[in-house]
Chain A
Amino acid sequence: MNINSYIDLYQVLEDNPTTIEDNRAFGLKHKSLRGKPQKQLLAWADKYKSKLQKPLISLSFSSYLYGITITLVILAFIFGLFSGMGLLSYDGKEPVNIIYFIAMVVFLPIFTMTLTALSMFRINQTKSILMHISPAFWMEKILGWLPSSIKDDIKEFKINPLLTNWIIIKRSQLVALSFSFGLFVALLGVVVTQDIAFAWSTTIDITPETFHQFLYFISAPWRYLFPSFVPSIELIEHSQYFRLGDRLSPNIISHASSLGEWWRFLAFATLFYAIVLRLLVLVVSHLGLRYAVSTSILKLIGTNRLLREINQPIINTNSTQQEALFVPTHDGYEQTIEKFKEYDYDMIQGLGMRYDELLVISDSIGLSSPKHAIVGGSNSLDEDDKVIDDSSGDILLFVKAWEPPMMDFVDYLADLSINDNVKKVIIMPIGTLEDDYKTTDTYIDIWANKLSLSEDGKVWLKR
């Protein structure tokens, strides 16, 4: 889990290449990741990042990050090297005051590491002063003013403060480490190539005993393993140096050869405080960054929805089949009559109604006929056939307008029409008793459409 996986996830989320079904299928396939949201998200991003447009933001970002870091690291090393050489420069006349060097390799690291520790505690702050005093932060800003030093895609890429802060912290550690290496190399280089007289000197009134105690304390980490790398009280006494007048203390001159022994102490102090401790902090910041990546993953916008889609069962109620499309082709029926004729009908029939109902209907409409018969409905087909045999002349057929005309009715009409005695069949859709048997055009149209399916010269529709 590194910063790249975070950025990839960000980019795939933005790109949003999957459907709910894809995501759920992914969830079902990777059962072992269930309950581990970060892992699910990363595996998901991994799967879909190949679909992203190249180049990946993560690649440009990490190469950018790498470029900047390398630059800073090299600069820091050179800076460390020169600082070291400056501090240790020996003109052959005055001894080199080790106090400066100790400050550089012991106090400066301790101070900056304390700041680092503090900023780790306040890591969540967007605008943390501690971050903003870091050179690693400033380099970024300064480089930003240079034309096109970075690609557009990462310019716009928003990264969460937690991560940014950890990136800065980690990078600061690398830079500091490199600086310390520079110092260390300078120390070794100077020691190898020159014969340096080390001395210590301070304006503050410090006795050699106190100074010894202090150095003894500083060398705690290694004094048991390498007792000889702790400056002895004699050495300290011998190498105290007063800047009064232009003369060296006879002490120093008489012990000139042992003064060089200081370098072992300095080397170990550098190694421990500036390098080993710094390495530890670097490891911590590396872990911190990893942790930040893993928490930041869940803070990316869009992850809630994605996790839900991965983990929630897909419930579907819809049909999986296409609807067989029905396109009504007919419209209207030509043979309609608007008014009843003067004469009565030879027979009045009612489709799907009771006999008494039929009588009431024809009566209330003011029609009379020698014959009434019911068809369809609860009649058997044989009973219908009998009615057909009995039919002749002009026939009025009442149908219930609200009931859809069915093929059963079409069959009956065809059979009736085949009878040669039948001259004319008038279909009359009627409404319910409550509506005084009146009906609406909508219903009549439906009947008209049905009749148009089998145009028959004998069949008329009463509108």
Chain B
Amino acid sequence: MILSHPRFAVVGHPNKGKSSIVSALAMDDSVQVSNTPGTTTKRRSFPLSVDGKILYELYDTPGFQRARRVLAWLQKHEVRADKKHEVVRAFIAEHKSDVRFNDEIELLEPIMDGAGIIYVVDGSKPYGAEYEAEMEILRWTGQPSMALINHIDSSDYSQEWKMALGQYFKMVRTFNPMRATFVHHIGILESMSQLKEEWIDDVKESIILFEQYQTQMIERSASLLARLLYDSISMVDKLSIDKDEASKEDKEKIEGKYKDKLRGFEIDTQKRMKSIWKHQHLAIEQDILPFNGLDLFSKESASVFGLTRKELMLMGMTSGAMTGATIDLLFIGHTFFIGGAIGAVVGATGGYFGFDELSDIKILGQNLGKKYLEIGPMKNKNFPYILLGRALYHTSQIANRSHASRDKIDIDRHLDLESVFRDKWLTDDLKNSLEKYHKKFRTSDEVEAEILKEYDLMIKDILRGLINDR
């Protein structure tokens, strides 16, 4: 069966990073990468598809296990050079159900079906003669091929590898799946397109798609973050109360509920972010959103991401923190009948510093007799910056992460090193433009999709700057 789209089989010795390379190229972190050789036992296909139409396909395969035995069989059937691939086919046909050659058959089959060969070696270990049988078998298949030198460790034997590989492959490239950036990724795709003339167009199209894909992911991340900020700042929560007066417990209860909801928004966003960047399996740890320390005098993570007191004052953001609630009795919101608000602010959460305050808590009366406490929208002027900073940091960690990597990220452990992170994205101009939107979010009935879209675009620009050369 000859399929029309280009296909590539990633093959080689066991444990040299085949699965890691496929993981990185396919941006799929579900691939089992393991330092136990022989983890991959079945080949697995990784198609690049647009709306279901496959543009090219990548195969992760098990490594060679009995290369010398296979080669011996082939050589016993020595024929003219132009018939060699038929001998390989005959080998497959004869050993289809021979468990001894399971791995070889898994990797040879796609090649004999027309897949190009990507032979992976580890350039941080010396070259050895045992590789020759593998490369010889690949030569017998007659399929176009290239070699990729991966570096699992720091030592470098790539010179001797290049010499040896040069004997068998027209093209030898270096690719590190752990550190590969988008540019490297595209570079490898370009090399792959060179393998066969008919593939150039398809692979070129794939490259364009990869670029689109990247943009899509950034766009989706930006909307997600814009929505997080909007939802968190504008969120209003209610609690029914039986009496006319709200007790201390009532106030604590609604405040606790409010904070939990805000934290919930953040956690949910983080989960979605992982799925946008196809890092569902990534373990990433971050302390929950802090609410104390919003005054920024503490050394908590809030202080790393938020604005300083001086900055807040410069922007005139400290005033108004204590103005209390001015409830527009009649025109409150544009809900038909939110009900008249009666009563006043019963307390602001947090201390009395302008920074510390989260939101007013109001007593509202609804219809006859029914009363409830209302909290929100977020009044703390620093909160948006802390939330956005944390989210941007989290996003950049995920987005810049190789899909081949299986370590977990511990954000709070690196935080000290990242105290400059804020300066990477938050300029004075940006502060002013962001503030305009945060202000709108605080008075939520004015926000419409277009406003959110503008905010979204600003975040998109920030993200572009934070995501490695993409």
Residues of A within 8 A of B (CB): 24, 28, 64, 126-127, 132, 140-141, 143-148, 150, 154-161, 164, 298-305, 308, 312-321, 323-326, 328, 352-354, 376-381, 400, 402-408, 411, 432, 434, 442, 446, 449-450
Contact = CB atoms under 8 A, between A and B. Distances in A.
A37 B223 CA distance: 18
Nearest to A318: B28
A211 B129 CA distance: 119
A318 B27 contact: yes
Contact of A407 (B34, B66, B219): B66
B30 A326 contact: no
Contact of A141 (B38, B100, B278, B330): B330
B98 interface: no
Interface in B16-63: 25-28, 30-32, 34-42, 44-52, 63
A376 B130 contact: yes
Contacts, number: 208
A323 B47 contact: no
Nearest to B446: A126
21 contacts: A24-B51, A28-B51, A126-B331, A144-B336, A144-B339, A145-B368, A155-B337, A298-B449, A308-B220, A313-B212, A315-B49, A317-B47, A318-B26, A319-B44, A324-B41, A326-B40, A326-B41, A376-B130, A400-B128, A404-B15, A449-B36
Nearest to A68: B336
B337 A328 contact: no
B336 A154 contact: yes
A323 B30 contact: yes
Given A132-B331, A144-B340, A148-B367, A315 B50 contact: yes
B8 to A, nearest CB: 13
Contacts of A353: 128-129
B335 A446 contact: no
A404 B15 CA distance: 7
B306 to A, nearest CB: 26
Contact of A324 (B42, B100, B333, B336): B42
Contacts of B34: 326
Given A313-B51, A320-B47, A160 B448 contact: yes
A402 B123 CA distance: 12
A164 B368 CA distance: 25
Given A300-B449, A352-B130, A319 B40 contact: no
Contacts of A323: 30-32, 44
Contact of A317 (B37, B48, B367): B48
A304 B449 contact: yes
Contacts of B63: 404, 406
Interface residues of B, number: 79
A299 B449 contact: yes
A160 B445 CA distance: 8
A158 B446 CA distance: 11
Contact of B37 (A304, A324, A405): A405
B338 interface: yes
B32 to A, nearest CB: 6
Given A144-B337, A157-B336, A381-B69, A432 B456 contact: no
Nearest to A162: B448
Contacts of A407: 65-66, 100, 103
A26 to B, nearest CB: 12
B336 A140 contact: yes
B453 interface: yes
Interface in B414-433: none
B335 A155 contact: yes
Interface string B340-371: 10000000000000000000000000011100
Contacts of B128: 352-353, 377, 400, 403
A318 B450 CA distance: 33
B315 interface: no
Contacts of A354: 129
Contact of A161 (B47, B130, B445, B452): B445
Given A28-B51, A317-B46, A432-B125, 6 more contacts: A127-B331, A159-B336, A301-B448, A318-B27, A407-B66, A446-B35
Contact of A301 (B40, B103, B449): B449
Interface in B127-171: 128-130, 132-133, 155
Contacts of B338: 155-156
B452 A301 contact: yes
Interface string B61-73: 0011111110010
B337 A318 contact: no
B126 A432 contact: yes
Closest 3 CB pairs of A and B: A404-B37, A144-B337, A378-B129
A141 B333 CA distance: 12
Nearest to A316: B49
Contact of B129 (A303, A352, A411): A352
A315 B66 contact: no
A316 B36 contact: no
Interface string B203-240: 00000011011001001100100010010000000000
B299 interface: no
Nearest to B369: A147
A52 to B, nearest CB: 19
A311 B223 CA distance: 16
Contacts of B449: 298-304
B373 to A, nearest CB: 16
Contacts of A303: 449
A411 B66 contact: yes
A140 B39 contact: no
Contacts of A144: 336-337, 339-340, 367
Centre residue among B100, B130, B209 by max chain A CB count within 10 A: B130
B381 interface: no
Given A318-B278, A321-B45, A328 B36 contact: yes
Contacts of B42: 324
B334 interface: yes
Nearest to B39: A326
B334 A147 contact: no
Nearest to B152: A402
Contacts of A316: 47-49
A378 B44 contact: no
A300 B216 CA distance: 21
A319 B445 contact: no
Nearest to A354: B129
B447 interface: yes
Interface in B298-348: 330-331, 333-340
A406 B446 contact: no
Given A314-B51, A402-B125, A408 B340 contact: no
B65 A406 contact: yes
Nearest to A405: B37
Given A159-B335, A302-B449, A304-B223, A446 B129 contact: no
Given A161-B334, A301-B447, A432-B125, A411 B130 contact: no
Given A145-B340, A352-B128, A158 B335 contact: yes
Contacts of B65: 406-408
B13 interface: yes
Nearest to A299: B448
B130 A403 contact: yes
B14 interface: yes
Nearest to A376: B130
B48 A315 contact: yes
A404 B14 contact: yes
Given A319-B45, A321-B44, A150 B337 contact: yes
A158 B333 contact: yes
